[in-house]
Amino acid sequence: MAVKSLAQQSLNQSFSTNSMLSGYDSNYFHHLETVRLGGSAASVTFSNLQRYSDYQHLQLRLVTRDTRAASAAVLHARFNGDTASNYAVHRLIGTGSSVTSANLSGNLFWLGLSPSNSGASGNFAATVCDILDPFETNKNTTIRSFNGFGGSVEFGIFSGAWLNTAAVSSILIFPQSDNFTSGSRFSLYGIKARS
């Protein structure tokens, strides 16, 4: 079904349970875990990640909102519970009127922003964060994140390096302050180098 013959102005592709294209399985990109909050939570942790060491890379896909008494809060992460200044972080953001950048290196990652309590009801941030070579012990683990939400004061891309060559065994995700709200979703994926 790769080529469509158009006898009409528009093309409408409807899904069929018999579609030869549905049910295509990826041997390389796997869903590992998901946490969906039924109530508020101060943080979410993916732990015992050494059980996923047969994957080359990890990906986080997040849908988040928090209870901070503001319009937005920063979305943070740490590896292996490391609270030392071992995170090199940069961001490139659009504010809706200008493009700015910053060096945010310190004791945590920046993944982006989430809408908070003062923000429009129902609004959640989306984040896609790649974690490269987390189980290699000959290099520092690096991340890249794309994040934003409608009506945000800023959105953009974030990068980081964890200045530690240890294998990543846990990922802690937490807001700048207060809690994640009910409805927030945290999903972890593994990407294999080979099947």
Partner 1 sequence: MPATPTYILLNQITLAAASSSVTFSNIPQNYGDLVLCINGSLSSSGVTQLNPNGDSANTNRSAVYMSGSVIAGASSGTLGAQNVRNIGSLNGTSRFNAEIQLMDYSATDKHKTFLIRYDDSAVATEAMVQRYAVTTALTSLNLTTSGGNFTVGTTFYLYGVYA
The tokens describing 177, both together, are: 């302050």
Binding residues for partner 1, how many (CB under 8 A)?
60
SS3 for 51? helix
Instruction: Sketch the per residue contact string, 156 through 185, with partner 1: x for CB under 8 A, - otherwise.
Output: xx-------------------------x-x
Taking only Cα atoms into account, the Rg of the chain, rounded to an integer number of angstroms, comes to 19
Instruction: Sketch the per residue contact string, 79 through 98, with partner 1: x for CB under 8 A, - otherwise.
Output: -------------xxxxxxx
Q: How far is CA 184 from the centre of its chain?
A: 12
* DSSP conformation class of 180: B
Q: Are 170 and 159 in contact (CB under 8 A)?
A: no
Please list every residue from 9 through 68 that binds partner 1, using CB under 8 A.
9-15, 19, 21-27, 29-34, 61, 63, 65
Q: Are 164 and 43 in contact (CB under 8 A)?
A: no
Binding site for partner 1 (CB under 8 A): 1-6, 9-15, 19, 21-27, 29-34, 61, 63, 65, 92-99, 120, 122-126, 128, 146-152, 155-157, 183, 185, 187, 189-190
